[in-house]
Amino acid sequence: MSEDRRRRRAVALRYDPQRDAAPVVIAQGAGYRADLIRELAAAHGVTIREDAALVDALSRLEEQHTIPPELYGAAAQLLAVVHRLHAGWDVESTRPSIPD
């Protein structure tokens, strides 16, 4: 397995304000599992956003758990970017800020 494939990571979030108090980590993984998460997301029309710092912070969480309050700001920025993408805005220079 290549070094690049082992390092690749992905985290999938769900946020349904009708059922979730905060975004929920629904899948996470590295290498092959990260590739599967990305492939499934793309196949279902889910927006994919690359952000190594956010993935690093989120990958420390267990699946099916809500994100902690210290990541609410970063998640809100991410959701705003997704909303802007769906509205057709240019958002390439926008990155969520992750607390230390």
Identify whether 92 is part of a domain.
no
Per residue of the chain (100 residues), give pLDDT as tens: 455 555 799 999 998 989 999 999 999 999 999 999 999 999 998 888 888 899 999 999 999 999 999 999 988 888 887 777 767 666 555 555 556 6
In a domain, 45, yes or no: yes
Tell me, yes or no, whether 94 lies in a domain.
no
The pLDDT tens digits of the residues spanning 67-83 come to: 999 999 988 888 887 77
What residue numbers bound the domain in which 60 lies?
Answer: 3-67
What distances in angstroms separate CA 73 from CA 4, 37, 43, 76, 78, one per listed residue?
A: 30, 24, 28, 5, 9
* Alpha-carbon dihedral sign for residues 97, 38, 85, 87: negative
Work out how many domains the chain is built from and give that number. Answer: 1
